[in-house]
């Protein structure tokens, strides 16, 4: 019987539901194994990653905040889509001990809103990190007609994101949003940590009411807490909304398939999906 050693690296890791999902799936298939969490402090990242690679204990692992870009120099191969996105959330250990990187966030992001995207014309994305790259790539692939506005704490990083994604040939129009709202958006996406952990009492968009219309869809990639302040505001404004749980399940299922050759068993998904969207959706 196959024994799977899987895991996740990031910092911090207290919010993640990935171990529950992957361990359910391992048990469902009646395999042995586990999905471990390894929190790595930023100052130890390079040393720890080199040690992990030498030991070669894990068959595969996920990469989360803040390392989706920082892991790339340690890979021996990278899937084309992940290379274009410039962020990796899934690593597979190859037969020779080398590491291959993939990105399952882009497709995971799109899955829950795929049907809605056809009727949307513009979107506002907050954040410009690893998850933002995946969102941009997912929209470019499935909804290139949408004009995407980007707002980030560090403006330079947002600018760099639009340039690198344009160089990568992603067919989507992007623009930077300055502090004054210029429009109401069909889709609002939070790709930052604002709303969870130390920032759980904050919202990345305090003036949400000025940015939405009745049918704007508000999508927070955060799933723990289940309903961030941003989503509470969306609920009050009557907008449909979703947290990041459906995305988590979809990206996790695709990662599990990369490692084991099987997707998540559908039986585990309804439980997780119960929490996925708000009453307005
Ligand atoms: N649901 C899912 O499956 C899923 C998948 C991927 C990610 N996520 C979530 O997405 C979020 C970001 O992940 P990531 O990998 O993109 O992280 P990352 O690469 O570290 O990027 C973090 C982004 O958040 C911004 N940010 C962080 N703290 C902030 C603050 N106090 N105020 C304003 N902006 C702040 C950063 O802005 P600066 O550029 O100014 O630093 C950056 O744009 C996390 O909450 C993660 O859990 C969810």
Quick one: 112 and 141 in the same domain?
A: yes
160 annotated active-site: no
Quick one: 191 and 264 in the same domain?
A: no
Quick one: 130 and 184 in the same domain?
A: yes
Quick one: 201 and 263 in the same domain?
A: no
Q: Residue 28: is its pLDDT beyond 60?
A: yes
Quick one: 229 and 255 in the same domain?
A: no
On whether residue 201 sits in a domain, the answer given is yes
- Give the integer Cα–Cα distance in Å for 272 and 187: 24
Is any ligand 1 atom within 6 A of the Cβ of residue 195?
no
On whether residue 281 sits in a domain, the answer given is no
Work out the end-to-end distance of the chain between its first and last CA atoms, rounded to an integer number of angstroms.
43
Number of domains in the chain: 2
On whether residue 132 sits in a domain, the answer given is yes
Q: What's the pLDDT tens digit per position in 194-244?
A: 999 999 999 999 999 999 999 999 999 999 999 999 999 999 999 999 999
Q: What is the mean pLDDT of residues 124-150?
A: 94
Q: What is the mean pLDDT of residues 140-145?
A: 94
On whether residue 279 sits in a domain, the answer given is no
Is any ligand 1 atom within 6 A of the Cβ of residue 152?
yes
Quick one: 67 and 170 in the same domain?
A: no
Please give the distance, rounded to the nearest whole angstrom, from the Cα atom of residue 130 to the centre of ligand 1.
7
Quick one: 113 and 239 in the same domain?
A: yes
Q: Residue 272: is its pLDDT beyond 70?
A: no
On whether residue 14 sits in a domain, the answer given is yes
Residue whose token pair is 């995407």: 148
Q: pLDDT at position 273, please?
A: 55
Is any ligand 1 atom within 6 A of the Cβ of residue 194?
yes
Domain containing residue 32: 3-104+246-273
- Give the integer Cα–Cα distance in Å for 150 and 166: 14
Quick one: 116 and 240 in the same domain?
A: yes
Quick one: 152 and 162 in the same domain?
A: yes
Quick one: 67 and 146 in the same domain?
A: no
Q: What percent of the chain has pLDDT over 70?
A: 93
Q: What is this structure's pTM?
A: 0.90
Place 156 in a pLDDT band, splitting at 50, 70 and 90. Answer: very high
Q: Residue 85: is its pLDDT beyond 80?
A: yes
Joined tokens for residue 275: 């929490």
For residue 173, give the CATH number of its domain.
Answer: 3.40.50.720
Q: pLDDT at position 280, please?
A: 41
User: Which residue minimizes the CA distance to atom 44 of ligand 1?
Assistant: 193
Q: Residue 269: is its pLDDT beyond 70?
A: no
Q: What's the pLDDT tens digit per position in 193-206?
A: 999 999 999 999 99
Quick one: 164 and 231 in the same domain?
A: yes
Quick one: 78 and 99 in the same domain?
A: yes
Joined tokens for residue 83: 């290379």
On whether residue 87 sits in a domain, the answer given is yes
Which is catalytic among the residues 2, 30, 68, 100?
68
Of 182, 183, 159, 162, which Cα lies nearest the Cα of 174?
162
On whether residue 278 sits in a domain, the answer given is no
């Amino acid at each position: 019987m196959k024994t799977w050693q899987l895991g996740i690296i990031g910092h911090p890791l207290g919010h993640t539901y990935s171990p529950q999902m992957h361990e359910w799936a391992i048990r469902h298939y009646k395999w042995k194994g586990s999905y471990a969490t390894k929190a790595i402090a930023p100052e130890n990242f390079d040393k720890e990653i080199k040690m992990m690679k030498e030991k070669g204990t894990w068959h595969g692992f996920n990469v989360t905040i803040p390392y989706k870009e920082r892991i790339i120099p340690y890979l021996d191969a990278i899937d084309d889509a992940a290379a274009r996105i410039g962020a990796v959330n899934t690593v597979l250990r190859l037969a020779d001990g080398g590491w291959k990187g993939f990105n399952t966030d882009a497709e995971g992001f799109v899955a829950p809103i795929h049907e809605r995207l056809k009727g949307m014309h513009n979107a506002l994305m907050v954040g410009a990190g690893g998850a933002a790259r995946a969102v941009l790539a997912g929209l470019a692939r499935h909804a290139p007609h949408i004009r995407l506005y980007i707002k980030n704490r560090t403006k330079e990083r947002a600018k760099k994101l639009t340039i690198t994604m344009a160089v990568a040939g992603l067919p989507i129009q992007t623009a930077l949003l300055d502090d004054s709202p210029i429009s109401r958006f069909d889709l609002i996406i939070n790709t930052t940590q604002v709303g969870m952990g130390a920032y759980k009492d904050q919202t990345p968009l305090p003036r949400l009411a000025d940015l939405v219309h009745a049918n704007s869809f508000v999508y927070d990639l955060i799933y723990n807490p289940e309903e961030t302040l941003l989503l509470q505001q969306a609920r009050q404004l009557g907008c449909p909304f979703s947290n990041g749980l459906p995305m988590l399940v979809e990206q996790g299922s695709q990662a599990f398939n990369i490692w084991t050759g099987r997707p998540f068993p559908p039986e585990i998904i309804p439980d997780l999906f119960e929490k996925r969207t708000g009453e307005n959706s």
